[in-house]
Amino acid sequence: MQVPFTINGRKVTVDAPPNTFLVQAIREHLHLTGTHVGCDTAQCGACTVMVGGRAIKSCNVLVGQMANAEITTIEGIAEADGTMHPMQAAFKECHGLQCGFCTPGMVMSAIDLCTHYPNSSETEIRALLDGNMCRCTGYQNIVKAVQVGGAAMAAAPKSKTTETA
């Protein structure tokens, strides 16, 4: 099955069997390995990407459903010159990661969260990140990173970093 879509601003066509999950197409066909496979049941959020500006778990959608979609992975959120997205910078600054396995999906969910629910409280952030699991941290630094990253996103001029979500 030939599936055309745009990923990280680049038009591609993936040739994959109809039962191929989007995460497999991203990792195995396009070799973008920042999107991780965690649970394969849409529980952990490690595979989170943006489709049409909304965070989705790529392990439970078929690549065939993505025909003509706009997809952004963790590799696509930094500026062309390598400048990190404000949310990436906040995760680094606030030590919102430990082993890093959940971080790409957590960052993508955090961007979606801050785009659609700006100025969320700590309680709201914790509830809105419920679909992303981190096995290493106590979430305190992740919540702080989301708050800092959200403020930086709100303050940033409209650019690729704020239009991603």
CATH number of the domain that residue 19 is part of: 3.10.20.30
> What is the number of domains present in the chain?
2
Answer whether 0.85 is exceeded by the pTM.
yes
Residue 81 included in any domain? no
Question: Structural domain of residue 127, as residue ranges?
Answer: 86-163
Each residue's pLDDT expressed in tens, for the chain with a length of 165 residues: 999 999 999 999 999 998 999 999 999 999 999 999 988 888 899 999 999 999 999 999 999 999 999 999 999 999 999 999 999 999 999 999 889 899 999 999 999 999 999 999 999 999 999 989 998 887 999 999 999 999 999 998 765 544 554
Angle at 12 between CA 82 and CA 131, to 5 degrees: 65
Residue 29 lies in a domain: yes
Q: Are residues 99 and 135 in the same domain?
A: yes
* Same domain (yes/no): 98, 153: yes
Residue 28 falls inside a structural domain: yes
Distance in angstroms (rounded) separating the CA atoms of residues 145 and 95: 8
Let me know whether 91 and 32 are in one domain.
no
Q: Are residues 6 and 56 in the same domain?
A: yes
